[in-house]
Structure 1
Amino acid sequence: MRTDELDFHLPPELIAQEPPAERHGSRLLHYNPVTRSIAHRAFTELPSLLGPGDLLVFNNTRVIPARFMLRKLTGGQVEGLFIRQNGPGDWNVLLRNVGPSSPGMAFRLEGDESVIFRLVERVDGGEFRVSVDPPIDAAALLDRIGRMPLPPYIKRHKGHDDRDDMDRARYQTVFAQQAGSVAAPTAALHFSPAILEELEARGVRRAFVTLNVGMGTFKPVSADTLEAHAMHTESYTLSSETAEAINQAKAEDRRVIAVGTTSTRVLESQPAGPIAAATGETAIFIYPPYAWKHVDALVTNFHLPRSTLIALVAAKIGLDEQRRIYAEAIRERYRFFSYGDAMFVG
């Protein structure tokens, strides 16, 4: 499949820069794959589209406030993004504007100048392995001084922005538990406690998987064809409780509804047939044509052109329908991407 088949023009003003005032205050485009009909709704109407016994599967990963600023000993600023902690005081990070570098080059941490970062080695491109002195736990330090790792299409002031506290609250789901992601499972950002309560009252079930979302989720497909794209790898956990809930829904002929592409990737990485508990890594790339194994319906946001995420949507509804729906969403002035509106396919 050609990558340019997933291209489209999006007016820049439709890229959402902030979430709606209320978490559940977004719009919802409802696509019925049986009738191929499109309905324009509010997200608060989602519970009315589900039935007792339907199962929503969420990703309960927690986003790390992974962005930080360093200052060279000569005074220049360097932007940092935490990738992972290998051991005490041993991190992998992305560094921007670092300039000429060599092992041992030192930086002070803005927000706590007692913390010194030193380059150990360049890993790849802008990724570096660094030593951190004192060897503070990454999660504790970043929780104190870090900023949320918003995608580059959400514009914020460098170093500090008056919306930082808002982003800490809203670029995180209400059920986030397992810290490990540098991007949010954005389809789940719409679910407020009030929506979850209404779903429970209607008999809609929910279960959780954990997939640690990496920066690869934003990587555009640069190859001419999807088949030539090297898909990123992410780690996941699927518990025995979630496996049992999915198997029960299937046995009762109820729908398994993935909330977001990250939950979808976990479920579709499992073998066909009854699901069992699993922990591992997935590099699954879902694009047309694709034989679906477990996901019956999907809640998702509107995604970037030429991305692996929009390829997944096209695999679910067909390329022509994906193009038609996105054209309609643009005409109707839906808000796109991470802080934008939602779509329900089901």
Structure 2
Amino acid sequence: MTAEPFDVVVIGQKGRVGYEAILFAASLRRADPGFAGRLIVAEPRPGGAWPGDPRMSDAQRDLLAGELCAEIRPFDAVHFGAAYPQGNKIEALAALDPGAPFVFFDSDTLVTGPLSAVPFDFDRPCASLRREGTWPEIEFYGPGYSEIWGSLYDLMGLDFASSLDPDQPDEYWERYLYFNAGWFFYRCGPSFGRRYLETALAIRDRTPRAAELQSLDPWLDQVALPLVVHALGGGRRTIPEGLLDGSVTCHWRVMGLLFARESDAAVTAALEAIQPNRIKKVLKEHEPFRRFLLQGRGARARAMFDRAALPRRERAIRNRLKSAGLWMR
């Protein structure tokens, strides 16, 4: 068991992200009723880099703060906002309590097992290794992985060689520290957030020459994250494999993908989390949840795929779902 309490943090915002936060919270309370930490839903304040009012609706906020026992905590989106929504996870960390261990999850995540039993080592941060080699995209005559990643480590004054996986061949993408930013953890939210913000802004505003031709939208948070983890003494697999992105959590991302490729436990977690009438009443306002969880589109999507023989690339799954009219965000 984890020896110390920790906060769980997700983003909540007007529209889709707020509904996803509710589904996350409902699945956490169902799967880990003994969780003793705080569930914090970080919400951007009006103003700053978000136009209009980005806060959740009264119905979303009341459900989260009431039955789901979440603390809604505001933060200021100054540097990213509407121009780069993924930056919410970077700027929200400033609103956390100094010195309080935290685990951040993307809101489109389900809890399927006892999160409180995961043996987090909060002094050695880590992040999700459920990813594909999406960045950088190597040009035939352009810089390679080592030159591109090395230039980013040089930019931040970090040792590049110690980040490499020596079991992987040179110029193969998995040799280089690269995470999905769907979850990460550390001992102090504001400390992690300061480093994350500094790194992301440096990469965005002072992009090294070797990386100039690489797209940073939507990849900036995932490009900066490994440098932050490395700088703070973390790395690959500092917790046992098979828990997060396994038996304890599922980063489903899009309803069609949840039903097409994820485990029976994840699908069951979503279907059962939405059953209480108060939760169902709010979540059915979100069309993808209503269509897939309540009106049968999820079962149709699931019947299209054999989970034991899925296409190797996610793109192939997406394309089949789109062709069948089963792709909704």
TM over 0.5: no
Larger fraction in helix: 2
Larger radius of gyration: 1
Query: Comparing both chains, which one has the higher relative contact order based on Cα–Cα distances under 8 Å and sequence gaps of 6 or more?
Result: 1
TM-score (norm 2): 0.25
TM-score (norm 1): 0.24
Larger fraction in strand: 1
